[in-house]
Structure 1
């Protein structure tokens, strides 16, 4: 099947999914969308997508279904999954899992879909809301080569780069490795600002020096700007990062890998979530760092 002839579906118009689907529509993709709450699906309909009333309708109208859903339980409910039986008509379709779940869940889902007559591709993405809006995500792909040949061109409006990571669950394992670095980076940045705060360093000066130095990155610059502006609007939320970090620790334990730094980060994100900051941007982990030494919350 030529990628230009593919009927594409998109399930899950959340924080990341909505801008991703919007980019597909803007690129001229024939897109059918579904979301549990209809408001976002109606917004995409106004932009040119077709709105499906159910996942059953979405899958029935699509050759390839991109899923940007929150976790395995949500995926199973959406697909009506009971082992290798599915309530939705997956046979003959290619199902693409773009969210973040444990590698073991993804392998199981893929096995069940194949037994039900579908093809399965992992395509988790690295990047938050801003890269999603700009079509600058980085996708990691895993699956059989023919399926990847079909799916990879369809992701062009969403991604600046795509990388093939072998068989399932290679893409999700790679995504979790990427997230180790992201979580450690942002937690270290928060701790640097906590030290600067305790030492009386001007935060704007510290931010300018970090922005100019060799450790600067797109992530650090955005997070520094958020700290200086007091902006905790989420790009990647504390709750989502805490969920991701626990997935990584679970997968690491299964593989006999020790993750001492991530263990500390996971505890800090759990403490930040416990402080009512689950919906805040991940840089709000600074409040957990402050809490460890008894400093009052900022703001």
Structure 2
């Protein structure tokens, strides 16, 4: 059973996959069928939600069409067929491109519709979206999700929502089809700011874990033993267990790509600068991710940042400090 947190209040949700009267018959459009977007849309489809999909590259949309979704020929067609449009853009520019594609039919196609942005963009860019959408009669709900490919496939994402409370409450039952929980954060851009705060911890955890395995390897330790100890201790978590397994197996298939993590880290350090605060751990993590992308690992999973750390060790090759006369005795 999932739960919806509402500024301190917890309300009981229906069983996952259950029909939600007045919601599951709403026509839903979904644009952005990448590593996470495709499984998110798939959960809506399997729940019986009337679904139309669109993606820049057609392959993921064709796969969902084969499973029973309707495939829009373009963004205009997507909005025409939908009451609620869920967007999972790769970045802010992709989000802007979708809205710009409405062209001179913008007022017609936004009026009366709810646009739900589940992607990650800079909070300051998101701040302007509600007014941009409402100017043409629509409503914007900010709903970024925390997680990667596996939680998306398992409908175990963590959703954060912001916007007009009534609009958020209308779309939350749809989010439950791919989120294990949702938390209402307040006005836009509070949900995205919350996600960046969460990612501050996640990125530090993932890069720290990679360094832990690098440290162990450099000292001749068996990585499977390190994994066993980490998975058994207080620091163990679902994400650490997944990433530990990837590091042991050197499995770099992207669940959360290094390039995407770099994009998030850059948003976070930019937000920190704008707030006038220090971000020492984030700065190091961002630089490591940037080095990894530069070495050609951007399409690999973030766990592959261990390769960048290994490169640094080889490049720096810092000799141990010489002993002092007292230590030499």
Q: TM-score, normalised by structure 2?
A: 0.87
Residues 70 and 127 from structure 1, CA distance in 2 versus in 1: closer, same or farther, beyond 3 angstroms? same
Please report how far the alpha carbon of residue 295 of structure 1 lies from its aligned counterpart in structure 2 after TM superposition: 6.5
The residue matched to 1:6 in structure 2 has which SS? Answer: coil
The residue matched to 2:24 in structure 1 has which SS? Answer: helix
Q: List 4+ stretches of structure 1 deviating above 3 A.
A: 81-88
Q: Which residue is equivalent to 1:247?
A: 267
1:42-61 → structure 2 map (5 Å cutoff): 42-61=62-81
Equivalent of residue 215 in structure 1, options 226, 235, 238: 235
CA distance in 1, matches of 2:154, 2:143: 18
Please report how far the alpha carbon of residue 194 of structure 1 lies from its aligned counterpart in structure 2 after TM superposition: 1.1
Q: Which residue is equivalent to 1:204?
A: 224
Q: Which residue is equivalent to 1:156?
A: 176
On the 8 A contact 1:91/1:116 being kept in 2, the answer is: yes
CA distance in 2, matches of 1:26, 1:271: 40
How many residues of Structure 1 are paired with residues of Structure 2 in the alignment? 296
* Cα distance per residue 1:67-86 (max 9 Å; x no partner): 00111111111221699994
Equivalent of residue 292 in structure 2, options 252, 266, 272: 272
On the 8 A contact 1:81/1:87 being kept in 2, the answer is: no
Residues 58 and 94 from structure 1, CA distance in 2 versus in 1: closer, same or farther, beyond 3 angstroms? same
Residues 131 and 2 from structure 1, CA distance in 2 versus in 1: closer, same or farther, beyond 3 angstroms? same
Equivalent of residue 113 in structure 1, options 114, 128, 133: 133
Which stretch shows the higher mean deviation, 171-180 or 33-42? Answer: 33-42
On the 8 A contact 2:102/2:109 being kept in 1, the answer is: no
- Structure with max Cα Rg: 2
1:182-201 → structure 2 map (5 Å cutoff): 182-201=202-221
The residue matched to 2:128 in structure 1 has which SS? Answer: helix
The residue matched to 1:15 in structure 2 has which SS? Answer: coil
Unaligned runs of 5+ in 2: 1-20, 317-329
Matched, 1:16 2:36: yes
Please report how far the alpha carbon of residue 270 of structure 1 lies from its aligned counterpart in structure 2 after TM superposition: 0.4
Residues 88 and 46 from structure 1, CA distance in 2 versus in 1: closer, same or farther, beyond 3 angstroms? farther
CA distance in 2, matches of 1:144, 1:232: 40
Please report how far the alpha carbon of residue 48 of structure 1 lies from its aligned counterpart in structure 2 after TM superposition: 1.1
**Backbone CA RMSD of aligned residues:** 1.9
The residue matched to 2:255 in structure 1 has which SS? Answer: coil
Please report how far the alpha carbon of residue 2 of structure 1 lies from its aligned counterpart in structure 2 after TM superposition: 3.0
CA distance in 1, matches of 2:223, 2:187: 45
On the 8 A contact 1:65/1:94 being kept in 2, the answer is: yes
CA distance in 2, matches of 1:278, 1:291: 15
Please report how far the alpha carbon of residue 110 of structure 1 lies from its aligned counterpart in structure 2 after TM superposition: 2.1
Unaligned runs of 5+ in 1: none
Equivalent of residue 284 in structure 1, options 298, 304, 311: 304
The residue matched to 1:165 in structure 2 has which SS? Answer: strand
CA distance in 2, matches of 1:149, 1:207: 41
Q: Which residue is equivalent to 2:281?
A: 261
Matched, 1:228 2:235: no
On the 8 A contact 1:84/1:116 being kept in 2, the answer is: no
